[in-house]
Amino acid sequence: ECDIDEAIEMLEGEDGEEYKTVVYDKTRKGFYVCRRNYEADDIRLLAECVYSAKFINEGQAKRLVNVVCGFVSEAQAERIRHNAFLVDRVKTHNSNVLNSISTINQAMSRKVEGLSHNPEKIRFKYLKYSIANVNKQVERRSGADYVVSPFQLLISDGNYYLLAFDGKKIIPYRVDRMKDVQRTGEPREGQAEFDKIDIRTYTQRVFSMFGGKKKRRVTI
C-alpha cells in the first residue's frame, strides 16, 4: 500500500507498465498498483472496430471508445484516440441505431427482463436517399410502416443488417435506415423460411455482390 505519488511512480516504471494501473481502495483508504487484464493493443483493436462501424454515428463512437479506453492509461488512451481519428470514415447520421438494435434484440429474444417472451414482429419506417438531395434521407412507401418478423442481426462491410421475414421471404434490411423501430406484440412468423437458410452461404451470396462487378440492391 502506498500514497498516490508512489503509486504513479510504480505505474511509470519499465516493468510491465502497460499491464498496471493505480487503484484506490475505499475500504482501506489507500492506493495500490494492480495488473491490467488488457493490453493496449487489445483496446486499440476494440477502438478501431468501433470507429470502423458505419452504423455507429460519430458521437456514439467517441463515447464507446472512451469507455474501452478506461482500461488503459490516459497516455495510451490519447494515442489510441488520436491514431484512430486519423482515418476518415463515412458514419451514419442516424443517432438511434443502438436503440433500434436493442429493440430488435428484445423482439427476437425468448426472455425479456428475466421473463419468458415469445419472439414478436416489429414495425418501422424505412429510409432511402432522396434523388433531389443525395445527402437527405426520406421515408420509403410514403412513410407507411414496414411490419416484419426479425430473425438475425449481422454485420457486413461495417454495416448492421437485420434478416427478417416480410410475409413472403427473408429480406436483409440496413439497421441504420430503420426509423422508429417498435415491437408490435404480434407473434413472429416465417420460422420455416428462416430455417432453410444457411447463414454463412446466404451472407456470402448476398453481401458479396456489393463489392463485385455485378451490384445488386438487397434492401427494399
Q: Which of 9, 47, 57, 63 is nearest to 31 (CA)?
A: 9
Taken in order 127, 130, 136, 141, is the CA torsion positive or negative? negative
pLDDT tens, position by position, 55-88: 777 788 788 888 888 887 787 788 777 555 544 4
pLDDT tens, position by position, 122-171: 999 999 877 666 667 888 998 999 999 999 988 777 788 899 999 999 99
pLDDT of residue 182: 97
pLDDT tens, position by position, 184-210: 999 999 999 999 999 888 888 877 755
The pTM score is 0.61
Cell numbers representing residue 82 in the block: 488520436
